[in-house]
Amino acid sequence: MRVLVCGGAGYIGSNMTAMLAKAGHEPIVLDNLSKGHRAAVRNARFILGDFGDYDFTVDVLRKYGIAAVMHFAAYIEVGESVSQPLRYYDNNVSRTRTLLAAMETVGVRKFVFSSTAAVYGMPDRIPITEDTPKMPINPYGETKWSVERMCHFQSETDKLRYAALRYFNACGAGFDATLGEDHHPESHLIPLIIQAAMGKRDNIRIFGIDYSTPDGTCVRDYIHVEDLCAAHLLALDKLDNVAEAVYNLGNGTGYSVRQVIDTVRRVCGKDFKVVEEDRRPGDPPVLTADATKAQNELGWKPRYPDLETIVQTAWAFHAAHPNGYGD
């Protein structure tokens, strides 16, 4: 199937592009390189441009005979979404609306959307099931939830068949350590710890050590990027049978910030300074997924649930790309 991968030069999108090609699909990457890296796209056609440009996107969908769209081109910084909400509504909601309008015009019906556990906000019950109330606590989570609602209503008109995949903490590197995380600025825990281990930053800060968790630090559900991508392939197939498919994607196992730090230390064989700081506003103590629905309905089973393996793949990418993609 010819699949347009919006944001295919980014972290998860580039892994998805590689996996689509390996699975016999024909991925075509559309990316404006505002965040992504040209070097992360190999063995796929690359189109420089903006999915929020209606005429351009209609042309692309038509010209390449696109059968499905996967959308990874969102802004993802929670803190930035609080200080610049309009920017997030523009990119994550308005432009996605334009993309869906272009799809409607051309008659492309299949859409796989990267959503997030942030749609749940600070849930009362852990692990989180898909029917947990959606109460985002920041503009980032709210914009993702808005798109889910938009897709829902559009699917009811019969013009769209969509999957919304709610990622927990995406991590690790895929495809022989060639495609990994290179965000600017970096805010995610595992790459930050690895940068500390590489001596690229002075220390790693722990945001809060007084949570009601076994070691006092926050617990998150770290899910390997290739496991996420594998779920997208299954979800794409699922859209042959259903018009709406919403799944949590996580391992169901939580690791604390301290456990992640210890694992990076062990895997990298390097020591670094750890600084204990106050809590970061908006961090729930524990976020873990109940992904039973994806397992039962998609037959999805994460292959790399073990934190040690996740960190090994991330470390291998950073060791091979000490300056990221170098752009």
User: In the 8-state DSSP scheme, what is residue 241?
Assistant: T
37 binds ligand UFG (CB under 6 A): no
List, in sequence order, every residue forming a beta bridge with 259; answer none if it has no partner: none
Binding mask 205-224 for ligand UFG (x = CB under 6 A): xxx----------x-x----
Instruction: Give whichever of 174 and 285 is closer to ligand UFG, judged by the CB atom.
Output: 285
In whole angstroms, how far apart are CA 159 and each of 104, 111, 154, 165? Answer: 6, 11, 6, 19
d(CA 263, CA 257): 10
Binding mask 236-265 for ligand UFG (x = CB under 6 A): ---------------------x--------
Least distance from ligand UFG to the Cβ atom of residue 112, Å? 18
30 binds ligand UFG (CB under 6 A): no
Least distance from ligand UFG to the Cβ atom of residue 173, Å? 15
Instruction: Give whichever of 28 and 173 is closer to ligand UFG, judged by the CB atom.
Output: 173
3-state secondary structure 247-302: EEECCCCCEEHHHHHHHHHHHHCCCCEEEEECCCCCCCCEECECCHHHHHHHCCCC
Please name the amino acid found at residue 84. Q
128 binds ligand UFG (CB under 6 A): no
Contact 144, 136 (CB under 8 A): yes
Of 2, 42, 188, 293, which one interacts with ligand UFG (CB under 6 A)? Answer: 188
64 binds ligand UFG (CB under 6 A): no
Collapsing DSSP to helix, strand or coil, 316 comes out as: helix
User: How many CA atoms lie within 13 Å of 69's alpha carbon, on the beta-carbon side?
Assistant: 31
By CB under 6 A, which span of 66-74, 184-192, 234-242, 291-299 interacts with ligand UFG? 184-192
Find the binding residues for ligand UFG in span 90-119 (CB under 6 A). 116-118
Instruction: Give whichever of 163 and 171 is closer to ligand UFG, judged by the CB atom.
Output: 171
Residue 140 appears among annotated catalytic residues: yes
Least distance from ligand UFG to the Cβ atom of residue 77, Å? 8
Of 103, 287, 294, 310, which one interacts with ligand UFG (CB under 6 A)? Answer: 287
201 binds ligand UFG (CB under 6 A): no
Annotated catalytic residue: which of 75, 88, 120, 140? Answer: 140
Tokens, residue 185: 């600025």
Least distance from ligand UFG to the Cβ atom of residue 113, Å? 14
Cis peptide leading into residue 281 (ω within 30°): no
d(CA 103, CA 29): 16
φ, ψ at 68 (rounded to 5°)? -155, 155
Q: Which of 26, 70, 65, 76 is nearest to 51 (CA)?
A: 70
Q: Give the position of tokens 């309009």.
A: 86
Q: Which of 93, 100, 112 is nearest to 20 (CA)?
A: 112
Binding mask 222-241 for ligand UFG (x = CB under 6 A): --------------------
Binding residues (CB under 6 A) for ligand UFG: these are 76, 78, 116-118, 140, 169, 187-189, 192, 204-207, 218, 220, 257, 280, 283, 287
- Residues annotated as catalytic are 140
